Amino acid sequence: MSKSTKKTLNCRGRLIPLEAPVVMGILNVTPDSFFANSRTSSTQIVDVAGKMLEDGATFLDLGGYSTRPGAADISPSQEVDRVLPAIDAILDAFPDSLLSVDTFRAAVARQAVEAGAVMINDVAGGTLDSAMFETVASLGVPYVLMHMRGTPQTMQTLTSYTNLVTDVIDELAIQVNKLRKLGQKDIIIDPGFGFAKTPEQNFFLLNQLDQFSLFDEPILIGLSRKSTIWKTLTITADEALNGTTVLNTIALMKGARILRVHDVREAVEAIKLTSEVKKN
């Protein structure tokens, strides 16, 4: 059994065990995220967060910058203006909740952690802000290192690989080494499904997911309602819950420790059932 299956995350003094996989609920405080039902206004945020926590989410991931392919760029101040009130509102209602902030900007990360967030989820894996790694290491919070090439505006033109799995692992390894040299304790690996990858590449990557155990770090999977699912099935994102559960189950069988999802209850059920299969 790899060390990643025994990993514990230190979330500002609270030790969160990952012996069993956990769920991260997606809360988008954006007007243009690809799945319309995940767009949450400031007035809805507390109710939606409460339902996710009730359904079994361990983490809530707040995003103020849409990273769907071709999404519009916004300023750091706009991102902060979306994220910080959401952090305040959720922590006021649920003081014990564990909030992650989905940002690739060091300044936003710092302000989010100072406001009470306990994790940073960086879709760019440190490639879009040279200050991100030093910032996160100094803050001492877990960091989700995701693989992406380019920017959300250009990533879908950067899908050429010599060997998909090897290239993704090599590119992540460079960033992991930088983080470890800075003393970053908790690193979470996200292969970056849908980011600079075609649907066919996403399926290939998922099939080879167990190779990412070589990092000896927890693996986070973000496949929820993505176009890889609904384009393959010729449906819409609204209809992609069943497909999400299917791919999440495969990811769990191949070693995923964190499922980042729009639908928490179904992900929790997938974890329970998959755990029973593995146990028996």
Tokens of 270: 């997938």
- Give the dihedral sign, CA 65/69/72/75: positive
Known active-site residue 226: yes
Determine the straight-line distance between the first and last CA of the chain, rounded to whole angstroms.
16
Known active-site residue 180: no
User: Which of 260, 265, 272, 278 is labelled catalytic?
Assistant: 260
The number of angstroms, rounded, from the C-alpha of 185 to the middle of its chain's C-alpha atoms is 18
Q: Residue 249 in contact with residue 242, Cβ under 8 Å? A: no
User: Which of 226, 257, 265, 279 is labelled catalytic?
Assistant: 226
In the numeric block, the tokens 């460079």 are attached to 174
The answer, yes or no, to whether residue 194 has pLDDT greater than 80, is yes
pLDDT at 11: 97
**Domain 20-279 bears CATH identifier 3.20.20.20:** yes
pTM: 0.92
Task: Count CB-CB contacts under 10 A for residue 109.
Answer: 26
Backbone angles phi, psi at 55, to 5 degrees: -80, -10
Burial state string for 16-25 with b = 16 or more CB within 10 A and e = fewer than 16: bebeebbbbb
pLDDT at 52: 97
What pLDDT digit, counting tens, does each position of 216-243 carry? 999 999 999 999 999 999 999 999 999 9
Type and span of the H or E element at 189: strand 187-190
What pLDDT digit, counting tens, does each position of 46-102 carry? 999 999 999 999 999 999 987 666 667 788 899 999 999 999 999 999 999 999 999
pLDDT at 10: 96
Query: Whole-number mean pLDDT of the chain?
Result: 92
State the Rg of the chain over Cα.
17
What pLDDT digit, counting tens, does each position of 116-169 carry? 999 999 999 999 999 999 999 999 999 999 999 988 888 888 999 999 999 999
